[in-house]
Amino acid sequence: MADFFKVTTRDALPPGGKALAEVDGRPIAVFNVDGTFYAIDDVCTHDGGPLAEGELEGVEVRCPRHGARFDVRTGKALCMPAFEPVTSHAVEVHGDDIYVALND
């Protein structure tokens, strides 16, 4: 079973919020969608754009570089210019703390 690493807290990541974390040397974007937390790779599969800097609308994040959108729940690419999904990761919440386990 993968190890969970603390990435942030509920207080630091309110609904609609985004955060960039590093888990085991890997950049991970963490999102709060109406109180549920999701984590995906921070690297857009089109050309490496930083997804944690993208606009979050509902469950979709828009890459700030060329506008590809991804479903933060699954990592699925929703529109061009990205075709490949980003990897999504497991999230657990314990008290105020949010943990992510890498899913390779």
Give the residue among 64, 35, 61 at the shortest CA–CA distance from 47. 64
Find where tokens 């609904």 sit. Answer: 15
Q: How far apart are CA 66 and CA 60, in angstroms?
A: 15
Is 84 an interacting residue with respect to ligand FES (CB under 6 A)? no
Is 22 an interacting residue with respect to ligand FES (CB under 6 A)? no
Our CB check for ligand FES shows the closer of 81 and 85 to be 81
Residues in binding contact with ligand FES, number by CB under 6 A:
12
Q: Which of 20, 27, 73, 81 binds ligand FES (CB under 6 A)?
A: 81
Give the rounded distance of the alpha carbon of 51 from its chain centre. 7
CB of 68 to ligand FES, least distance (A): 4
For residues 92 and 103, the answer to whether their CB atoms sit within 8 Å is: no
Q: Which of 38, 46, 56, 60 binds ligand FES (CB under 6 A)?
A: 46
- By the 10 Å C-beta count (0-12 exposed, 13-18 middle, 19+ buried), 81 is classed as middle
User: Which of the residues 48 through 77 are near ligand FES (CB under 6 A)?
Assistant: 48-49, 63, 65-68
Binding site for ligand FES (CB under 6 A): 44, 46-49, 63, 65-68, 81-82
